Amino acid sequence: MHAMELGGNAPFLVLADADLGQTVAGAMVAKMRNGGEACTAANRFYVHASIAGEFGRRLASAMGALTVGPGLDAGVEVGPLVNEPARKKVGELVAGIVDASARILTGGTPPDRAGYFYLPTVLAEVPPDAPILAQEIFGPVAPVVSFDHVNDAIRMANDTEGGLVAHVYTGDLAPGLRVSEALEAGMVGLNRPVVSDPAAPFGCVKQPDLGREGGHDGLLEFTESKYIAVDW
- What's the N-to-C CA distance of the chain in angstroms? 32
Contact 62, 52 (CB under 8 A): no
CA-CA distance, 161 to 79, in Å (whole number)?
A: 29
> How do 202-203 and 212-213 pair as beta strands?
antiparallel
Active site residue 221: no
5 is catalytic: yes
Pairing of strands 121-124, 42-48: unpaired
Q: Determine contact, residues 199/205, Cβ cutoff 8 Å.
A: no
Cα angle for residues 127, 207, 30 (degrees, 5° grid): 60
Helix (H) or strand (E) holding 43: strand 42-48
Measured from the Cβ of residue 59, the count of other Cβ atoms closer than 10 Å reads 26
Q: Which of 37, 39, 136, 184 is catalytic?
A: 39
**Which residues are annotated as catalytic?**
5, 39
